């Protein structure tokens, strides 16, 4: 009788400790894209978002023409794919750097203002300028150093570079290994630089209204910060770190009681 009572007490303690230490998170706290009362089943989404070029960007420009020898004078590499990102997660060294005033220095052509232009607009501008120097020029141009910084409660915080010119917040968080169980999903901060000023916005990953947010499509150099839940403070305390050992010990004790009762 005593052993059965001890067994029941140990079971109750184990359940209590597990519930207490996991922070009692509900399903609504961790589920993405929930359909809330004021959210329709379909949400408008800006598919026409286009990145523009900014100061300190690196643009990859590859020129071809009827005279291949003349074209080589403007290129960093023999093929356009060789001038792309040299290593995963780092920008390659080959490209034209946009200076603080929004210009790139192009051979023969001189200064070309590209800040504020899309890749297509910058390509057309450079092509027109090149017509004075080579016959029938064709230009391939893309932004080489599109990056976002991801901090806070994600599996792998860091700076992430992508070869494309567009990144959605969901893709960025997936690159960082998704949010941890301690992440506050309804209040993710986005820090963005616009016209020389830092702007601050928030997005709610638990709501489908996320897709309507102007921060869903990230800009190059955006910073994502995922705030921790209050229960995160338990993780930093020493006694929290021994919780797995305590629970394991209780489990072993329960097994032994079952064997010898």
Q: Give the contacts of 21 (CB within 8 A, at least 6 positions apart).
A: 234, 240, 243
User: In whole angstroms, how far apart are CA 220 and each of 48, 56, 191, 211, 231?
Assistant: 16, 11, 11, 18, 32
Compute the distance between CA of residue 119 and CA of residue 187 in angstroms, rounded to an integer: 33
Mean pLDDT, residues 79-94 taken together:
51
As given in the structure block, the two tokens for residue 104 are: 């790139």
pLDDT greater than 50 at residue 84: no
Shared-domain flag, residues 33 and 18: no
Indicate the pTM of the whole model.
0.67
Mean pLDDT, residues 51-64 taken together:
89
Is 52 within the bounds of a domain? Answer: no
Shared-domain flag, residues 137 and 151: no
CATH number at residue 105: 3.30.1950.10
- Please give the pLDDT value at position 76: 80
As given in the structure block, the two tokens for residue 31 are: 């589920």
Shared-domain flag, residues 157 and 209: yes
pLDDT greater than 50 at residue 2: no
pLDDT level of residue 199 (50, 70, 90 thresholds): very high
pLDDT level of residue 90 (50, 70, 90 thresholds): very low
- Please give the pLDDT value at position 82: 54
Which of 109, 143, 177 is the last residue before a domain boundary? 143
Q: 3-state class of 64 per DSSP?
A: strand
3-state helix, strand, coil in the chain (%, to 5): 35, 30, 40
- Please give the pLDDT value at position 42: 61
List 161's β-bridge partners, or say none.
147
Higher pLDDT, residue 134 or 93: 134
Number of domain units in the chain: 3
pLDDT in tens, 141-155: 988 888 899 999 999
> For residue 42, is it left (φ>0), alpha (ψ between -120 and 50) or beta?
beta
Q: 3-state class of 255 per DSSP?
A: helix
List 54's β-bridge partners, or say none.
none
**Of 156, 218, 147, whose CA–CA distance to 189 is shortest?**
218
Is 245 within the bounds of a domain? Answer: yes
Shared-domain flag, residues 41 and 151: yes
Shared-domain flag, residues 207 and 245: no
- Please give the pLDDT value at position 47: 58
The pLDDT mean for the chain works out to: 78
pLDDT greater than 60 at residue 3: no
- Please give the pLDDT value at position 21: 47
Shared-domain flag, residues 125 and 91: yes
Mean pLDDT, residues 33-43 taken together:
60
- Other C-beta atoms closer than 10 Å to the C-beta of 24 total 9
Is 53 within the bounds of a domain? Answer: no
Is the Cβ–Cβ distance between 86 and 92 less than 8 Å? yes
- Please give the pLDDT value at position 50: 81
Which domain, by its residues, includes 12?
A: 2-25+234-260
Mean pLDDT, residues 211-224 taken together:
91
pLDDT greater than 70 at residue 15: no
CATH number at residue 43: 3.10.560.10
As given in the structure block, the two tokens for residue 51 are: 């990145």
């Amino acid at each position: 009788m005593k052993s059965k009572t001890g067994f029941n007490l140990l079971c109750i303690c184990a359940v209590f400790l597990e519930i207490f230490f996991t922070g009692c998170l509900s399903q609504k706290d961790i589920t993405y894209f929930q359909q809330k009362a004021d959210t329709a089943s379909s949400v408008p989404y800006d598919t026409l978002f286009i990145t523009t070029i900014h100061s300190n960007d690196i643009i990859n420009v590859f020129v071809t023409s009827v005279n291949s020898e003349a074209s080589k004078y403007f290129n960093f590499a023999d093929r356009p794919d060789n001038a792309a990102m040299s290593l995963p997660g780092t920008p390659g060294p080959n490209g034209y750097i946009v200076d603080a005033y929004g210009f790139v220095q192009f051979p023969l052509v001189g200064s070309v203002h590209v800040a504020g232009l899309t890749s297509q607009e910058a390509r057309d501008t450079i092509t027109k300028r090149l017509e004075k120097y080579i016959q029938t020029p064709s230009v391939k141009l893309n932004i080489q150093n599109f990056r976002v910084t991801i901090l806070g409660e994600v599996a792998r915080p860091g700076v992430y570079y992508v070869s494309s010119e567009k990144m959605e917040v969901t893709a960025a968080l997936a690159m960082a290994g998704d949010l941890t169980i301690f992440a506050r999903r309804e209040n993710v901060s986005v820090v963005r630089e616009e016209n020389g000023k830092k702007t601050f916005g928030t997005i709610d990953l638990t709501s489908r209204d996320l897709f309507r947010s102007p921060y869903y499509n990230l800009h190059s150099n955006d910073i994502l910060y995922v705030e921790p839940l209050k229960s995160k403070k338990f993780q930093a305390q020493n006694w929290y770190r021994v919780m797995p050992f305590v629970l394991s010990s209780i489990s072993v004790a329960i097994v032994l009681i079952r064997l010898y009762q």
